[in-house]
Amino acid sequence: MLQFYSASTRIINTKRCVSECLDNALNEKSISADLLIYNASIGHNYNEILEESKAQFPHADVVVASCCGVVGKEGVSESMKDMALMAVKGKDYALAEVNDFFGHNAFDKTLVMAKSLQSQKNGINMIYFLGSGIDTNNSEVIAAFEQVFGSEVTIFGATSSDNMKGIVNYQAVNNTVYEHGAFAIGFCDPTLKVHTQATHGFVATGDAMVVTKSEGHIIHELNHKPAWSEYLRHIDLKPDATCANTIPVGALAEELNEDLAEEYGNKHILRVVTKHEGESMYYATSCPENTSLKLTLRDEDLIFSEMDKMAADLVEKIGDEEIVSVFHADCLARGRFLFNKVFKEELVAKMQMPFSKNGECPPWLGMYGFGEFARLGGVNTYHNYTTALYVITRKV
């Protein structure tokens, strides 16, 4: 059976930061680990994370994702030198990785990972996926995993990020650091299950923009006009604006049907523009022509109320099952770029409290990234601008 342990800290020196995470999660308890999963802010040296981890646990698999801050059981931190660790003891998992992972080849690259996972282990029922957050197509990621494992497998995880610049992000596995890679961990412990849910708290507003020319995840025209210029005009930004300038003011909303809206607590699911080349905008999922998109406004009261609703819904689903760990993906725009320090810490406290026992938070690994995976309407779904929680429980 898999066992989970976590720690988070902030230290300028990368190797010391790794060592403290390992000491707090494992060494002080004399526990070994088979898998080390890190989230690390963009200021760290990712090769040194791998080197120090292998020095202390030579036989463990090590994976790392860059992010814009972390959340651990110790709380939230958003400096350039944050690090969070989820350590896993046990062999009931498979690990796969790819390099050169982009939107145009997301399906094929994910299919390679899915087949590798399937060949390594039987009984995989949940997949933790972490891929590049820049130029990606996450609806194709889901489609590829489901082609191999079926829609019954739950996909959770995130896309990696930088410090909200949208310039470079990193993924690392064992001895290699990638700038545009992806990795997947397939868990196959038959005693475990995962409950996932996401919420954003933004409200759609204004006139719709209609996608009039697109190709996969790339939007070429909005309202029969060059996409990037039309998009900037709607959000009142100058022509020299960057993608970073559009976060979160340029969050785009796709309307949900009535049943999904009721479950989600919102009438729309949100999308982010991950990059642009000339007039072409790169969406985070496939975006067919005739898709109607609206701009949004954040509603801070709604963000808090929907957080409470999501936590209550998850607690009800979990029932008497034992919580063994929580993975957590949060949009970087919901961190310091959206809230001041007091609101941010209050939001994290409100999400952790319902899953704590006797005042103790379970092992927790959270990140501020570019996007999140969680089920919606019983279907694997990719989200943007959300808080997404993945509560792993042991069946009783």
Instruction: Give 92-102 pLDDT, tens digit per residue.
Output: 999 999 999 99
Where residue 294 falls among pLDDT bands split at 50, 70, 90? very high
Q: Examine the domain organization and report whether 136 and 58 are in the same domain.
A: yes
Per-residue pLDDT of 109-163, as tens digits, reads: 999 999 999 999 999 999 999 999 999 999 999 999 999 999 999 999 999 998 8
Q: From CA 253, how far away is CA 383, in angstroms rounded?
A: 11
Q: Examine the domain organization and report whether 258 and 167 are in the same domain.
A: no
Q: Examine the domain organization and report whether 129 and 16 are in the same domain.
A: yes
Q: Examine the domain organization and report whether 39 and 84 are in the same domain.
A: yes
Q: Examine the domain organization and report whether 224 and 187 are in the same domain.
A: no
Q: Examine the domain organization and report whether 45 and 126 are in the same domain.
A: yes
Q: Examine the domain organization and report whether 88 and 229 are in the same domain.
A: no
Return the pLDDT at 337.
46
**Nearest of 391, 233, 258, 234 to residue 315 by alpha carbon:** 391
Q: Which of 266, 298, 330 marks a domain boundary?
A: 298
Q: Which of 254, 269, 298 marks a domain boundary?
A: 298
Q: Examine the domain organization and report whether 275 and 317 are in the same domain.
A: no
Prediction pTM value: 0.95
Per-residue pLDDT of 14-34, as tens digits, reads: 999 999 999 999 988 899 999
Where residue 286 falls among pLDDT bands split at 50, 70, 90? very high
Q: Examine the domain organization and report whether 183 and 218 are in the same domain.
A: no
Q: Which of 243, 272, 298 marks a domain boundary?
A: 298
Q: Examine the domain organization and report whether 141 and 267 are in the same domain.
A: no
What is the domain range of residue 336?
3-199+304-394
Strands (E), 286-370: 292-298, 322-331, 364-369
Q: Examine the domain organization and report whether 294 and 364 are in the same domain.
A: no
Return the pLDDT at 339.
52
Q: Examine the domain organization and report whether 150 and 262 are in the same domain.
A: no
Considering its fold, how many domains does the chain have in total? 2
